[in-house]
Amino acid sequence: MSPPPALRRSPQPKPLMFLFRTFILRRLREEKVRSLATVLGVALGIAVVLAVQMANQSSVRSFETALEMVAGKTSLEIVGAGPGLREERLLELDWLEQFGQISPIIEGEARAQFPSGDREWLRILGVDILRDESFRDYRLVRFAGQSQSPGPREFLQLLSDPNAILLTQKLARRHGLDPDSSLDLDVGDRRETLTVRGLLLDKGPARALNGTFALMDIAAAQWLLGRLGRIDRVDLRLNPEFSIDQAEAAIAARLPADLTVQRPSRRGRQVEKMLEAFHFNLTALSHIALLVGLFLIYNTVSLSVITRRREVGILRAVGGSRRQVAGLFLAEAGLLATLGCALGILLGGGLARGALSLTSSTLDRLYIRSAAEPVPVGVEHLVLAFAVGIPLALLAALVPALEASRVAPTEAVRGFDRLESRYRLSWRQRWLPPILAVLAVGFACLDSVEGIPLFGYAACLATVFAVAFLVPAVLHVSGRAGSRLTRRWTGVEALLANANLSGSISRISISVAALAVSLSMLTAIAVMIGSFRETVQYWVQQTLQADLYLAPATRSNIYSKSSVSPEVVRQVAANPGVAAVDSFTSFTVDYQGRQALLGSGDFAVQLDRAGLLFKAPRDGRSAVRAAIGQDAAVVSESFALRHRKTVGDAVVLNTPRGQRAFRVAAVYYDYSSDQGIVVLDRSTFRKYYGDQPPRSLAVYLKEGLDPERVRSGILAGLPPQSRVFVHTNASLKREVLRIFDNTFTITYALEIIAVAVAILGVAATLITLILDRKPELALLRWTGAEQRQIRKMVVIEAALLGAISQGLGVAAGILLSLILIFVINVQSFGWTIQYHLPAGFLLQSSLLILLATALSGIYPAYRAGRVPPSREA
Amino acid sequence: MLRRRPGERFGPSRGPGKELRRRAKLPVWPRCRPRLLPAALLVPCLLATIGWSQTWRQANLGYRLQFPRDHASHPEYRIEWWYYTGNLADSSSRRFGFQLTFFRAGVRTRPENPSRWAVRDLFMAHLALSDLETGRFHFAERLNRAGPGWAGASTETYRVWNQSWEAGLDSDGRHRLRARDGDFGIDLVLEPGRQPLLHGRAGLSQKGSQEGNASHYYSLTRMPTRGSIRVDGREFEVAGSSWMDHEFGTSFLEQEQIGWDWFALQLDGGQDLMVFQLRRSDGRRDPNSSGTLLDASGKRQGLGRSDFSLEPVRTWRSPHSGARYPIQWRLSLPRRGLSLTVTAAQPDQELRTRWSTGVTYWEGAVVVTGTRGTDPVSGRGYLEMTGYAGQSMGDVFR
C-alpha cells in the first residue's frame, strides 16, 4: 500500500517530528492535568530513589571520607584482639621499624558542650605528637589567619598540659571559641573541662566530619577517655621501597597471633557491610515509588492508545507504518519520563536532606555515629536518574505502544472498538497470576545472596505483578457484584458509577493495579512493623527485668565505647536499696570480616533475675547454667543466622591469648543488634580478655522499694561531674519503643509517597475517562441529570476505585507481609518476628484511602459537571 | 631512681630574686655545653610554657663522680647527654667518622597525668656518619618520649636507648653502640681506654658567673673501637678511636651567645685535648670559653680562656643551608707549646635536623697537624660549630 501523496509531501526531513508535534504534543497540551500528574508521578518516584540513594551514600561516604582524611599517609594499621591492645605490646613491635614508621593511636568520642548551649559530638584523635607529624598534615592557625606547622613550642604545650586539646578552626568559628578558652566535654560518664590550645586549619584530618575533629596528645587522650594502659591501634607508614601488598603479607607472617595487620579502609568496608542490609532495604522500599511511577507511565500511554485507536487507525490508513505508530507512543513515554526525571532530580536533592535526617538518627541509635552531610547531586545521580528512569519508562510503554501499532486501519476507521460491550480476559490475565504466584513461593524458599535477600524481593515483585495482572478479573467480578448491589440499595449515581467502571475495565485496570500495588506494600510494611513492634514489646517485657538501668550519658548505641567509671559502680553498689548489680561490658570484634559485638555479663545473675528468651535449645536456662566456667558462649539469634551457628557449634574468636573456640551453649532472642552478639560469662571473658570497664549496669533493688526514689538517691550520691542516664524499668521500655518507632518513620514516609503517586494516577485516569466519555455525559445531562449528580457520580467512581484497590491491596499486602517477615527480615537482620495483624491500623488506613481517592475525584468531577447537555452521542 | 646523698639538697638553691631574674632572662641551655642543640631548643620553650615550677637538682660542688655508676642516668637533673664521636678505618684504610648522641631533656619531674605516655623527659638522638672516601655525609635523628619503653636511660646500670638505637655497658665493661637508619648505621664496641677525664673542678664544670650554673662533665677521651659500619648497603669491619662525653646539669645558656666552636682532639703521643669557645653577639669571645688537656702521663690540666687561641683559616659554604663554616682552624696553646691546624676531613658534615628548623649545625671528623715545641705532631678528632646558619642562637632560643 503506497502512502497518499499528501503525506509524502509533508515536511520532508522530519516527518516523525511533525507527527510527534501534532499527534502527541498537542494532545499532551490539551490534557495538561493528566500530563502533569504523570510527570509528577515519575518525578516523585525518581526523587525518592535518588534521595534514598544519596542519604545512604552520605552516611557511608561521610564515614569513609573521615576515615581517609584521618588515616592520612597511613598505609597499614595493626589492631588487637580485644578492645585495642595493651601499650606494652608496642615493644614487641620494634621490628616494624624496618618497614617504616609507626604511630600509636587512641580514638574516641566526646560530646562538646558549648557556651551557647549547643552540643556537638567530636571525634578525638589521640596521637604521639612527636611521631605523628609524618602521618598526618596538621596546620595551626596563627594570628590574622596565617598558618604554620606546629613547632616545638606548640607541641610541647600539648605535651605538658594534660588538659590540652586542639579543635578545628571551622568548629571554633561555629561556636565562637578562641585559643586558650576552656571547653566542656562529656566523656564516658563524666564531664571534663579542657583547654583549647590551638586551632587546626582546614587541612588534613581537620577537614573530616565537618570540623568535628579534635586532636590531643596520646597521654592526655588516654587519661581523658579512660583508657590508661591501652591503645586502639598502631598506624604504620611504609617506607617508599615497600609495596603495601608485600609489606602486609610480610608483617602478617611475623605478627603474634592475636594482632592483625589491615588497611585502614577495612574499617570503612566493615561499616559499609554493617549498613548494607539497612541500606538495601531502604533502597528497595524507595523503588516502590518508582515502580508506581512506571505504572503511571504505562497507564498514561495505555489510555492514550485506547482513547485514540481511531486516530491511530487513520494514521495507519494514510500510510503511517506500524513502527511509526509504536515510535510515536514510545516518544510520548520518553518525553514524559525525561521531564519526570529532570524534575525528580530537582526534588531528589531536597528530599535527600529529609531522608538523611530521618535515617541518621536511626544510624546513630542502631549502628554508628555519623556526621553525615548530604552529598551534593552529582553526575552519577543524573546518570542514575536518566539511565534508570527513561529505559524503564520506555519498557513500561512498550506493551501499549506495540498494541497501538497492531491497530488495523480498517478496524479503527469503522469505529468498532469505542465500546467495550463485553470484557473478555486475555490469556495474560488468565495465566500470569497463577504462574507468578508459583514463582513467588519458589523465590521465597530460596536463601539470601551474601546476606542480601535478593530472592525475597524477587518474590515480592512476583506477588506484586500477580496482583497487577489479577486486577481486570477482580474489577470484572466486583463490577457484577456492584451492579447487583447498587441496583437494589443505592441511588442512581452509584449505579451509574459502577456501570461506568465495569464498562471501562481496560482503561482503569492499570491505575487500579498501581494503587493496589502501592497499597499492598503499605499494608505489608504496616503488618511487618506492627508485628515487629509487638514482638519487641514482648521481648522487652520479658527481658528487661532489672529495676534500674545505668549507662554513660554519651552511650548512644550499643557499639559505643563509653563506659561506666569505677566510682560510679561503687556508688551504685553501695546504695542501701540495691540488692544486686549486673554489669555488662562489650566491644566490637571482627568476626569473619563482619562486625559483631562481643559482650560479657554475669550468667548466674542473668539466669536468676533477667528473663532471657531462648530460641535454642529448648531448655536454654539449664544449658546456660551448665556453660558457666566453660569455654562456651551464648549467641544472639542474628549472630546465629548470619554465621550459620547452632547450639553445639564452635565460634572461634581472636583473643589476646590467641585464637580460641567457644561452644555455642544457647541461642537467645535479641533485637538490639542486627550484627549479632556473642556473650561470654564474666569469668570466661575475664580469663581471655582481662578486666574491661562496664558499658552499662542493670540494678536490682530490694523488695518493695520505689525505683524512682532509689534512682534519685543514686543520682544525688554521684559526683557532680558525673553524666549518666539512670532509667527505671518502665522508662527504659518506653525509650526502647520510642527508638523503635523512630526507626520506621522513614519507612512510612517512603510508603506514603508511593501511595500519593498512585492516587495521582487514579485522578489522571478519571480525567481521561471523563474526556473520553464527554458525549455520554452530555447525553446524561440532556436526559436530565443535574450537574450535582454527575459530580457525585464521578466522586463515587473515584471512591469505588479506591475501595477496590484497597481491598486488593490489603489482601495482597498480607501475603507480602509474610514474605517480609519470614524471608526478607530474617535474611537481612536475622530476627524472629511474631506475626501480628494490626487490625486497627488497617481499618484506619482503609478509610483514609477511601477518603483520599474520593477527594482525588473532585477535580475530575468538576470537569465532568461542566460538560454541557447535548443530544449528540 | 633519684639518689640522694647526705649533705645534698634536691632542687635548685635560689632565692626569689634569683628566680625572677631567671624568668626575665629566659635563659637558654647550655651555657656549659654548646652541643645540645635540640634540647637547647626545646627546653627554653618548655620554660616559657610551663614556667619554672619544677624542682630539678642543680649541679654543685661536693658530688663525687664514680664509675661505672655515673655513666648511668641522673634523672634528678634537667639535662643530660651521652655523646660519642670517633675516627675509624677499615683494613684497607678507608676512613669514616661517626657521631652518636643521646639526649635527655627533663620536662616535668612529676607529671600529673598517670598515663605512661605522660612526658617526664624527652629523649633525642642524633646519628651521623662521614664516609671520608666518597665525601658523603649521612645523618638521622630520633625524638621520643619514654612511653611504654621506646626511649629511656636507666639509672641502675648504664644503658640509654632511643627506639632501636642504644648505647650501654656490656658485662665486660665495654661500651656497645648500635644505631641504624635505613641504609647506614653503626655497630661498635668501645674499650673504656684511659681513665675518665673530669672537666672543671673535679668534674664540676662551672659555667656562669652565678653559683649553681654548672654541670657535671667528664669525658672518655681515647676509646679503642672495633666493630662494623654500614653505609650504602655495604658492611665495613672497622677499628679506630672514639671519644665519649657525658654531662648532666640544670643550667642555661645566655641570650647574647650567638654560637660556639668545640674541639675534641686526640694527638699522637698521647695528648687529648678538649677546648671550646663561645661567640658573643658583639663579636667577642665569651669569658667562659675553656678546655682541658690530658697528658700522655695521665696528668690533667685545666685551660682557661687565655690559655688558648682560635683563628679561622678557611671557610666552606654549605650548598644545603647557605651557611658559611670555618672548616680549617689554627688552634694554639702557647704555654703548652702546641700550635695546631685543625682541618675538616671533608667539608660537608652539616646536620639539618627536623626539630631544629633553622638550627643547622656542623659536626664532623677533623685532621690535626702542627707542632709540639719544635716536633711535628698530628692527630684526629671532632669539631662542632653552631650559629653559622644565618640565625643567632639567641633568637632561636627565644
DSSP A757-781: HHHHHHHHHHHHHHHHTHHHHHHHH
Are residues A116 and A235 part of one domain?
A: yes
Final residue before a domain boundary, out of A222, A241, A263:
A263
Residue type, A509: S
Residues A341 and A399 in one domain: yes
pLDDT at A519 (0 to 100): 84
ipTM of the complex: 0.80
* Nearest CA-CA partner of B365 in B381, B379, B378, B353: B381
pTM: 0.80
Unique residue bearing C-alpha cell 517480609: A820
Say yes or no to pLDDT of B244 above 70: yes
Taking contacts as CB-CB distances below 8 angstroms, the residues of chain B near A223 are 113-115, 118
Spell out which residues of chain A touch residue B148, defining contact as CB-CB under 8 Å. Answer: 87-88, 90-91
Q: What pLDDT score does A320 carry?
A: 81
pLDDT band per the 50, 70, 90 thresholds, residue B341: very high
Contact between B49 and A160 (Cβ < 8 Å): yes
Q: What is the dihedral of CA A73, A79, A83, A84, to 10 degrees?
A: -60
- Eight-class DSSP state of A578: E
Q: Is the Cβ pair A87, B164 closer than 8 Å?
A: no
Task: Calculate the alpha carbon distances from A571 to A145, A227, A699, A701, A731 in Å.
Answer: 48, 21, 12, 14, 22
pLDDT at B32: 31
| Length in residues, chain A | 873
DSSP B390: S
Is pLDDT at B46 greater than 50 in this prediction? no
Instruction: Extract the C-alpha cell encoding A618.
Output: 529448648
Q: Are the C-beta atoms of residues A825 and A817 closer than 8 Å to each other?
A: no
Let me know: does A774 contact A578? Beta carbons within 8 Å. no
Chain A residues inside the 8 Å CB shell of B45 = 152-153, 156
Per-residue CA distances from B132 to A307, A414, B135, B264, B346 (Å): 99, 110, 5, 18, 6
- Reference A344, options A610, A39, A762; nearest CA is A39
Report d(CA B111, CA B109) in Å as an integer. Answer: 6
* Chain A closest-CA separation from residue B142 CA (Å): 9
CB contact under 8 A, B113 and A219: yes
Considering the domain architecture, whether residues A736 and A633 belong to the same structural domain is answered as: no
Q: Does residue B148 belong to the interface with chain A, where contact is any CB pair within 8 Å?
A: yes
Other CB atoms within 10 A of residue A202 CB: 14
**Helical segments of A544-612, H only:** 566-574, 603-609
Residue A227 lies in a domain: yes
Would the CB atoms of A160 and B145 count as touching at under 8 Å?
A: no
Cβ of B113 within 8 Å of Cβ of A131? The answer is no
The string of DSSP letters for B186-243 reads EEEEE---SPPEE-TBTTEEE-SSSTT-EEEEEEEEEEEEEEEEEETTEEEEEEEEEE
The pLDDT value recorded for residue A448 is 82
Rg, C-alpha atoms of chain B: 20
C-alpha cell at A83: 578492645
Say which residue, A505 or B370, is predicted with more confidence.
B370
Count of positions (residues) in chain B? 398
A780 is a domain residue: yes
For residue B322, how far is the Cα from the chain centroid? 24
In terms of Cα–Cα distance, which of A201, A170, A208, A200 is closest to A70? Answer: A208
| Confidence (pLDDT) at A377 | 80
CB of A134 within 8 A of CB of A262? no
The answer to the question of residue A206 being in a domain is yes
Chain A residue numbers with beta carbons less than 8 Å from the beta carbon of B163 are 94, 97
What residue numbers bound the domain in which A701 lies? 554-722
Q: How far is it, in rounded angstroms, from Cα A589 to Cα A260?
A: 12
- Are B117 and A130 within 8 A, CB to CB? no
DSSP H helical ranges for A628-706: 637-642, 682-689
- Report how far residue A284's alpha carbon sits from residue B287's, in angstroms, rounded to the nearest whole number: 85
Q: Which of A86, A130, A180, A217 to mutate to test the interface with B (most CBs of B within 10 A)?
A: A130
Mutation target for B interface from A103, A105, A156: give the one with most B CBs within 10 A. Answer: A156
Indicate the residue type of A793.
Answer: M
Sign of CA dihedral A167, A173, A178, A183: negative
Residue B251 has pLDDT above 70, yes or no: no
Strands A594-601 and A614-616: unpaired
State how far Cα A105 lies from the chain centre: 33
Compute the distance between CA of residue A614 and CA of residue A666 in angstroms, rounded to an integer. 7
Query: In terms of domains, do A51 and A106 share one?
Result: no
The one-character DSSP state at B167 is: E
- Pair A820, A856 in one domain: yes
Q: Give the burial string for A825-864 (b: 16+ CB within 10 Å, else e).
A: bbbbbbbbbeebebeeebeebbeebbebbbebbebbbebb
Q: A94 to chain B, minimum CA–CA distance in Å?
A: 7
Q: Answer whether A196's CB lies under 8 Å from A179's CB.
A: yes
Chain B hits for A239, CB-CB cut-off 8 Å, are: 182
User: How confident is the model at residue A251, as a pLDDT?
Assistant: 93
Torsion of CA B331, B334, B336, B337, to 10 degrees: 90
Question: How many alpha carbons lie under 13 Å from residue A815 in its C-beta half-sphere?
Answer: 23
Note if the bond before A83 is cis, omega within 30 degrees: no
> In this complex, is the C-beta atom of A229 within 8 Å of any C-beta atom belonging to chain B?
yes
Give pairs for B285-289: CB < 8 Å, separation 24+: B285/B310, B286/B257, B288/B31, B288/B32, B288/B207, B288/B208
**What is the total count of domains within chain A?**
4
Task: Indicate whether A742 belongs to any domain.
Answer: yes
Chain A contact present for B43, CB below 8 A: no
Cell of B207: 659555667
Partners of B48 on chain A (C-beta within 8 Å) are: 153
Helix or strand or coil: residue B278?
Answer: strand
> Min CA distance, B114 vs chain A (Å)?
7
CA distances from A141 to A126, A138, A171 (A): 19, 10, 13
Element (H, E) at B395: helix B393-397
Q: Is the pLDDT reported for residue B365 higher than 90? A: yes
End of a domain among A662, A689, A722? A722
CA of A607: how far to CAs of A243, A601, A621, A624, A646, in Å? 53, 11, 7, 8, 21
Mean pLDDT of B312-336: 92
User: What CA–CA distances, in Å, run from A837 to A531, A535, A738, A754, A812?
Assistant: 7, 12, 20, 22, 14
- Whether residues A79 and A67 fall in one domain: no
Q: Which of B46, B113, B149 lies closest to A220 in CB terms?
A: B113
Has residue A327 been placed in a domain?
yes
Helix (H, G, I), strand (E, B) or coil at B293: strand
Paired with B238 in beta bridges are B90, B227
Query: Which of A687, A722, A757 delimits the end of a domain?
Result: A722
B375/chain A closest Cα distance in angstroms: 50
* Mean pLDDT (chain B, rounded): 81
Q: By three-state DSSP, how is residue A415 classified? A: coil
CB–CB contact A152 B41 (8 Å): yes
Within 10 Å of residue B284's Cβ, how many Cβ atoms? 10
**Beta bridge partners of residue A106, listed in sequence order:** A126
Nearest Cβ partner for A97 among B116, B147, B164: B164
Inter-chain CB proximity A128 and B147 less than 8 Å: yes
Q: Report, in this order, helix, strand and coil percent for chain A, each rounded to 5.
A: 60, 15, 25
Pair A121, A108 in one domain: yes
Same domain, A101 and A59: no
Q: What is the pLDDT of residue B92?
A: 94
What pLDDT sits at residue A148?
58
Q: Which of B117, B124, B142, B166 to mutate to test the interface with A (most CBs of A within 10 A)?
A: B117
Asked whether residue A436 is assigned to any structural domain, the reply reads no
Backbone angles phi, psi at B96, to 5 degrees: -140, 150
The Cβ of residue A319 has, within 10 Å, a number of other Cβ atoms equal to 17
Torsion of CA B154, B160, B164, B169, to 10 degrees: -100
The pLDDT value recorded for residue A674 is 82
Structural domains of chain B in order of their starting residue, each with its CATH number:
36-252 (2.40.370.10), 254-398 (2.40.370.10)
Residues A83 and A52 in one domain: no
Subunit contact B117:A153, Cβ cutoff 8 A: no
Rounded to the nearest angstrom, the minimum Cα separation between B246 and chain A is 25
- Report whether A650 contacts A664 (CB < 8 A): yes
Closest-CA distance, B255 to chain A, in angstroms, reads 18
pLDDT of residue B161: 95
CA A290 → CA A282, A453, A609, B352, distances in Å? Answer: 13, 20, 50, 65
Q: Which three cell numbers stand for residue A828?
A: 537481612
Q: Residue A429: inside a domain, yes or no?
A: no
**Closest by CA position to B33, among listed B22, B43, B25:** B43
Q: Please identify every stretch of chain A with a pLDDT value under 50, giving residue numbers as ranges.
A: 1-13, 143-146, 416-422
> With an 8 Å Cβ cutoff, are A128 and B107 in contact?
no
Of the candidates B46, B108, B116, the beta carbon closest to that of A87 is on B116
**Residue with cell string 687529648:** B272
Same domain, A623 and A745: no
pLDDT over 90 at B276, yes or no = no
In terms of domains, do A531 and A564 share one? no
pLDDT tens-place string over residues A53-89: 888 888 788 878 888 888 888 899 998 887 888 899 8
Q: Where does the pLDDT of residue B393 fall: very low under 50, low under 70, confident under 90, or very high at 90 and above?
A: very low
pLDDT at B65 > cutoff 80:
yes
**Contact check, Cβ <8 Å, A151/B357:** yes
* Residues A609 and A681 placed together within one structural domain of the fold: yes
Best interface-test mutation with B: which of A127, A129, A159, A237 has the largest number of B CBs within 10 A? A159
CB contact under 8 A, A88 and B149: yes
Q: Give all strands (DSSP E) within A269-351, no chain letters.
A: none
| Predicted local confidence at residue B209, as pLDDT | 61
Residues of chain B found within 8 Å of residue A222, distances taken between Cβ atoms: 115, 117
A433 within a domain of the structure (yes/no): no
Q: What average pLDDT score do residues B65-93 get?
A: 92
